[in-house]
Structure 1
């Protein structure tokens, strides 16, 4: 019986072999480009990577987990650190929208969100990823706290969720051409609130 991966790369069990894992991720990206999300399958990735399905499932327990790693591998979004919270958030959202719009990662992530509505493994993978992203985006708020720009009792994770909600809504409704002025307006509402002065 053939090994899980071709003779040039050996599986080493639950611990990933970097060469094998890299070949599988390369294959997954190529399948996405050629076949799109609807044509993406573990079988297609295994064929292209010359890897066994057991190896792929050992390292990525679901199709969603593999796709999320492909998404994270593709994601290159600069997070500004200008010393001004408004500029940091506007810059981050502008860069994120541009990345989703100009690469395949936007359609991959949109499809993952959709699949998570009916697939428990996709939902669990997405929840794990979202938790990490919440902490990452929350660092923008924590930096502002350290500068005295944000009240000490503000929950950075809640603010990160609000930012993510705005971004995900635009992704899911394919409204990624949002001009900077519109993004800035939303950020100002978030930072300044909507309560009338003196109330």
Structure 2
């Protein structure tokens, strides 16, 4: 396509600091498409701006850096339903693992999340963003364990968010070491070993 093609160079209208939904959608769709086609190696604000026909200042106003835009794409790709409610904490944990590992291993989402974790080691802004994200996820996954407490399935003295953090730590470790492939049987084994220690009658020492 020629350089003066309106499909590439005609800029979308911005409405200042207030987000234009059409422009926001175009930017996120362009970012997602670039990741799908070229991975992180081909991802840049410049490439997204060209594909979305949006100005770089608009992108930087809404997403202060490449990492913030990547996290927005990660949220966009995240499945709507993550936590099952089967009536069994063990089964809910197993299903959580299967779905999360499938999401990370079956799309570019795992590569993006690994990048975010790596960038957080040297970028304070990313570290803060990732910390806030992890805190929100602990609350969401903690609800899984809180339901087990309400059913009398788990001890009343456990901290649901701490239990969720243990699960997340294992998930992150598997992602960072390239072990996202998991069967439902293996996930159920993991869930059994985690949840058994949280049941009434388990040692509290």
Q: Pick the TM interval, shorter chain.
A: 0.7 to 0.9
Q: Match of 2:118? A: 114
**Structure 1 residues 152 and 27, CA, compared in 2 at 3 Å: closer, same or farther?**
same
Tell me: CA distance 1:50–1:61, structure 2 relative to 1, closer, same or farther (3 Å): same
Distance verdict in 2 for CA 1:123–1:38, change over 3 Å: farther
The correspondence for 2:192, drawn from 177, 180, 188, is 188
Whole-angstrom CA distance in 2 between matches of 1:93 and 1:43: 36
Shift of 1:68: 0.8
Alpha-carbon shift at residue 163 of structure 1 (Å): 0.7
Structure 2 gap ranges (5+):
1-8
- Number of aligned residue pairs: 194
Counterpart residue number, 1:46: 49
Shift of 1:141: 1.3
What are the superposed Cα offsets for residues 13-43 of structure 1, whole Å, 9 maximum, x if unpaired?
A: 2221111100000110111122211221111
Asked if 1 retains the 8 angstrom alpha-carbon contact of 2:101 and 2:181, the reply is yes
Show the counterpart of 1:141. 145
* 1:12 matched residue in structure 2: 15
- How far apart in 2 are the matches of 1:124 and 1:39? 25
Structure 1 runs (4+) greater than 6 angstroms displaced = 196-199
- RMSD of equivalent CA atoms: 2.3
Counterpart Cα distance in 1 of 2:110 and 2:138: 18
* Equivalent of 1:73 in 72, 76, 90: 76
Greater mean deviation of Cα atoms: 41-50 or 75-84: 75-84
The Cα shift of 1:8 comes to: 7.1
- Aligned counterpart, 1:3: none
Q: Give 1:47 deviation, angstroms.
A: 1.2
Kindly provide the CA deviation profile for residues 48-107 of structure 1, in whole angstroms up to 9, marking residues without a partner as x: 111111111111122111111101111115321101100011011111111111111111
The 1:38/1:122 distance shift into structure 2, 3 A limit, reads farther
1:102 aligns with 2:115: no
Cα separation, 2, equivalents of 1:58 and 1:197: 53
- TM-score, normalised to structure 2, is 0.86
